[in-house]
Amino acid sequence: MTYPIMVLSSDDAGRMSRLHARSFDDPWSAMSFRGLLLDPSVLTLGIELYGDLAAFVMVQTVAGEADILTIATEPDHRRKGLAATLIRALVNRMGERGVSRITLDVAEDNAPARALYTAHGFTEDGRRPRYYTSGRDVPVDAVLMSRNMGLPTQN
């Protein structure tokens, strides 16, 4: 299944915020999203299904390196390959822009996201101990991961 990719704009801040709230314990406000969507260093890709926003990824590029700020798929549409499609599109676009490396951090206990990133060539660089606290009784490490460009995309 192939999904058309859209570049999202500040008009999408509200629906991004709603999708984010269904995916994370620490939701970001529409105002936060609007600020990021207006930032020229930020690129946001999304996929719509049946007219609704089903998934998005947001990346910020600084000094030739791109950092994934957030990625989420609507709970009803998970395991359909949407996030994988977004990561592939992101890697291609970052390659076209001459980005040398894509970085991210992910909670140690987020098995779905870690599996997604590993399948797409991201490897662990280090940890930020006890970094994530939201929605947890015990803080968990942030796993720092990166992918050098020039590697073939997986999946």
Ligand X SMILES: CC(C)(COP(=O)(O)OP(=O)(O)OC[C@H]1O[C@@H](n2cnc3c(N)ncnc32)[C@H](O)[C@@H]1OP(=O)(O)O)[C@@H](O)C(=O)NCCC(=O)NCCS
Separation CA 52–CA 146 (nearest Å): 30
Q: How far apart are the first and last CA of the chain?
A: 12
Separation CA 151–CA 139 (nearest Å): 33
Binding ligand X (rule: CB under 6 A), the pick from 78, 88, 93, 127 is: 78
Binding ligand X (rule: CB under 6 A), the pick from 15, 18, 80, 127 is: 80
Q: CA 77 → CA 86, 89, 101, distances in Å? A: 14, 18, 29
The smaller minimum CB distance to ligand X, of residues 34 and 77, is found at 77
| Least distance CB 48 / ligand X (angstroms) | 14
# binding residues, ligand X (CB under 6 A): 21
Binding ligand X (rule: CB under 6 A), the pick from 26, 119, 148, 151 is: 119
Q: Which residues of 48-67 are buried (b: 16+ CB within 10 A; e: fewer)?
A: beeeebbbbbbbebeeeebb
Regarding 15 and contact with ligand X (CB under 6 A), the answer is: no
Q: CA 1 → CA 81, 82, 85, distances in Å? A: 8, 9, 10
User: Under rule CB under 6 A, which residues in 19-38 are in contact with ligand X?
Assistant: 23-24
User: Under rule CB under 6 A, which residues in 86-115 are in contact with ligand X?
Assistant: 106, 110-113, 115
| Least distance CB 155 / ligand X (angstroms) | 6
The smaller minimum CB distance to ligand X, of residues 49 and 98, is found at 49
The smaller minimum CB distance to ligand X, of residues 72 and 91, is found at 72
Regarding 84 and contact with ligand X (CB under 6 A), the answer is: yes
Regarding 18 and contact with ligand X (CB under 6 A), the answer is: no
| Least distance CB 3 / ligand X (angstroms) | 10
Positive/negative CA dihedral, 140, 114, 70, 67: positive
Classify residue 129 as exposed, middle or buried by CB count within 10 Å of its CB (0-12, 13-18, 19+). Answer: exposed
